[in-house]
Chains A and B, each alone.
Chain A
Amino acid sequence: MTVSAAATTSTAVLPGNSVLRVDHVQLGYWTPDGFTLAVREATFSVAPREKTIVIGPSGCGKSTLLKAVAGFIRPTAGRIEVAGREKLEPGPDRAVVFQEFDQLFPWRTVLDNVAYPLRINGWKRREARERAREFVELTSLDQAADRYPYQLSGGMKQRVAIARALALDPAMLLMDEPFGSLDMLTRARLQQELNGIIERTQTTLLLVTHSMDEALTVGDKVVVLAGSPSTVIEIADVRDVGQPDSPRYAEARAHLRDLLGVFPDEEQLGVGD
């Protein structure tokens, strides 16, 4: 790790100019068997235009954390602040790209899927269409603009979801394992594309994943969640790890692997990776 920040403790100080502040947050959910605590304690912040990756093994509560930031659930303790606001309801200022391909509206074309959220957020019809076209081009979907979602591949559907989210010009973009259901090649390509798009739109990103390579190729900062219920065991700056073939990348990856306790053969199978 390039800068291996001291593992966060409850005394961590959150910087002032953050888009997102997650402050001593505890999270859980009800199941038929009772209340399950998913996140025991998480504290971290996201600076403007920073790409933050939350990584952790399956079931560590990272998706629950993202849902809380999106406003779908409330923390049982602690505070989540976005641009200084608390008591979060779901809203377009924290646009979400979900893992599931069927997050698009099947009855709208690609262009309409991007334009419609703009319309309900006060954009005029013509301007919404123009902006939608811009983002459809940005995500290389021009050829598919008039198609319906069922006519698209999984990778293209995720691109539409990214275009839809970014067109809303959110304070931050939230992504919940967006490429988790894609094949390896498509996933690698979309990670590269996402980097380019975020570069151009200067968007603040919070992405949840269990893939170490996704964390290292996309992220500026990695928040490692582990344990059950989980805590933040490390926050690391991975801005300078370079390409996957560089020694620093390999070093950072080995370090992450140790933290997450993944065995090499599990990685191949994609189990817990």
Chain B
Amino acid sequence: MASVTEAPAVLPARPREAGWSRLPVWLRRVILVAALVGLWQAYVAWSEFGGNPLLFASPDDTARAFWEGWRDGSLASATWQTLRILLIGVGIGALIGALFTLFASLSQIGEDILLLLTAILNPLPGVAVLPLALLWFGLSTKAIVFAIANATIWPIAINLTTGFKTVNPTIVAAGRNIGLKGIRLVTDVLAPAALPSAISGLKTAWAFGWRTVVAAELVFGVVGGEGGLGSYINNAKLYLFTPQMFAALLSIAVLGIAFELVFGVLERRTIIRWGMQKS
């Protein structure tokens, strides 16, 4: 409220930051990416290992393979295939995770079961259950979806449960006081109050799922007729198409960054805007 309404005659010096921090954030990033590509190029030009095109791809070759792969659709369809399996797996995992949370919120035994299962299954790397999934579902996308779902259920359930348990009791009392009860209290007070935990659970689940799907595809090679990014990399290795391997890795990185951005927008529009989480 106590803001300055009249500017003083002589303004005090604006606090200055050091040279690098004064640059806008996009420029800082562009410079860093350029430097990274420069190092890469230098390695290709001056090192024996880097200069062998069968072992190592130059930025130039990678960019060309990336462009070709997206233009002829081979890289695009592989990416889409991986993304599709990932979405299905994370979707199923999130749904089951939410059901587990409901179960755990309603009863003590539910909570105990969830804690036990999480303690046992959460530390397992996503691909570790793959051989079993293979045995049960055969060489199919179902097996990969199963592995992804297993990798995502636990982080989501444990984050949601913690989120609901740590909702500020005063806010719940305020909600009941204005006349909310039952499901309305859950949707209008508990759910938004637990949103920071829900988002962080989803982020972890997404990261776990992403690692699992690519690793699973690598292990299987071609699965279910259409290959994803993992099998794309594997095939490229078989034929020593090194630039294509680099291009597929680049696709994975770009997608990872894209999802960071999506989650960033989601957070800025909700929990950061509401002061429930620092930016």
Q: Which residues does A use to contact B, with CB under 8 Å?
A: 70, 72, 90-92, 94-96, 98, 100, 102-107, 116-117, 120-121, 143, 148-151, 164, 168
Contact = CB atoms under 8 A, between A and B. Distances in A.
Interface stretch (B41-49, B118-126, B176-184): B176-184
**Which bracket fits the contact residues of B?**
20 to 34
Contacts of A94: 177
Contacts of A90: 173, 176-177, 179
A106 B177 contact: no
A148 B180 CA distance: 21
Contacts of B195: 107
Contacts of B171: 102-103, 105
Contacts of B193: 106
A148 B273 contact: yes
B1 A96 contact: no
Contact of B180 (A95, A104, A120, A151): A120
Contacts of A117: 178-179
Contacts, number: 65
A46 B28 CA distance: 66
A61 B146 CA distance: 55
A143 B276 contact: no
A100 to B, nearest CB: 4
Contact of A102 (B168, B176, B180, B189): B168
A95 B177 CA distance: 6
User: What is the interface of chain B mostly: helix, strand, loop, or mixed?
Assistant: helix
A100 B189 contact: no
Nearest to B180: A120
Contacts of B225: none
A96 B174 contact: yes
Contacts of B192: 105, 107
B3 to A, nearest CB: 11
Contacts of A107: 192, 195, 270, 274, 276
Of B170, B177, B180, B276, most buried by chain A (CB within 10 Å of CB) is B177
Given A106-B274, A107-B274, A148-B273, A98 B178 contact: no
A16 B275 CA distance: 48
Contacts of A95: 177-178
9 contacts: A70-B177, A90-B179, A95-B177, A100-B168, A103-B174, A120-B184, A121-B179, A148-B274, A168-B178
A72 B176 contact: yes
List the 5 shortest-distance A-B pairs measured between CB atoms, nearest first.
A150-B275, A117-B178, A90-B176, A100-B170, A107-B274
B276 to A, nearest CB: 5
Contacts of A102: 168, 170-171
Contacts of A70: 177
A72 to B, nearest CB: 7
Contact of B178 (A92, A143, A150): A92
B170 A149 contact: no
A184 B147 CA distance: 59
B194 to A, nearest CB: 11
A143 B170 contact: no
A164 B173 CA distance: 14
A120 B181 CA distance: 11
